[in-house]
Amino acid sequence: MNRTDRLYAIVEELRAVAPRPRSASWLADRFEVSRRTIERDIGALQQTGVPVWAEPGRTGGYCLDRARTLPPVNFSPDEAVAVAVALGGLAGTPFAGGGATALRKILAAMRDDDETAAHELAARVHLLGAPPQAAPVPAALADAISARRVLRLRYTDRAGTATTRDVEPLGFVGSSTAWYLLAWCRLRDGIRAFRLDRVDRVTATSERAPRRTVRPEDVQVPEGDLRTLTLLD
């Protein structure tokens, strides 16, 4: 690890445990350098304005004021390509548009040489075949949860019966075969899961949807048990 990478890594390590301290000895062991090197690195960070200070005492060490710093938005070429490959599976889901926007932001935040390297690496990644393409998800459906608007759906159920319903969006459910909009159905006066590819027409009304709590056991979908997505392990 070169010095620039180590300086970034020290800041991120201190940010992760803030406001608790990390001792110079602990940091030296973590980055496999001498304690004196860590002390010089901390001095360099302080000179550039990073809010790091020394906490005295037996359990003291170096602390970072995370409220006064922002994490660096640095992606390596490998990380950018990994995200691009993962986002390839979003086609036909409510998150396809957000995924494309996120990838553009990642590339815009990269250094020019890293972005070039990412494009060169991506050109060496080859995919055999493609997953089945689902129909594009209308914007009103994709934004249903964050917009919190009551939706008017024209929906065809698995028996082929078409109905028009006003629903209060509650979430999305993804299975191995389809994506569903989880919503409170005012026609049925209960929670229902609507397959996105069976929504024939959708209109976002001006009515704000009330907040409702949904438990996994309240949801019935054709296959498997539900698990809730978490962003951190």
pLDDT at 103 over 60: yes
pLDDT class of 186 with cuts at 50, 70, 90:
very high
Of 225, 137, 213, 224, whose CA–CA distance to 181 is shortest?
A: 137
Pair 92, 35 in one domain: no
Number of domains the chain is built from? 3
Q: Which residues contact 62 (CB under 8 A, 6 or more apart)?
A: 14, 21, 22, 23, 24, 27, 42, 52, 53, 54, 55
CATH code of the domain containing 202: 2.30.30.530
Pair 148, 212 in one domain: yes
Average pLDDT over residues 40-66: 87
Domain that holds residue 27: 3-68
Write out the H or E segment, with its range, that includes residue 65.
none
* 102 located within any domain: yes
* 131 located within any domain: no
CA distances from 53 to 6, 111, 169, 209 (A): 18, 30, 47, 47
* 51 located within any domain: yes
Q: What pLDDT is attached to residue 232? A: 46
Pair 118, 168 in one domain: no
* 230 located within any domain: no
Q: Averaging pLDDT over each range in 1-15, 26-40, 42-56, 135-149, which range is the top one?
A: 26-40
Encoded tokens for 115? 């972005």
Pair 18, 88 in one domain: no
Pair 165, 106 in one domain: no
pLDDT class of 109 with cuts at 50, 70, 90:
confident
pLDDT at 93 over 90: no
Q: What pLDDT is attached to residue 201? A: 93
Lowest mean pLDDT across 37-41, 148-152, 181-185, 220-224: 220-224
Looking at residue 153, its amino acid is L
Cα 60 to Cα 71: distance, rounded to the nearest angstrom: 23
Pair 209, 183 in one domain: yes
Say whether pTM exceeds 0.95: no
pLDDT at 212 over 50: yes
pLDDT at 32 over 70: yes
Pair 211, 184 in one domain: yes
> Among 45, 68, 91, where does a domain finish?
68
* 134 located within any domain: no
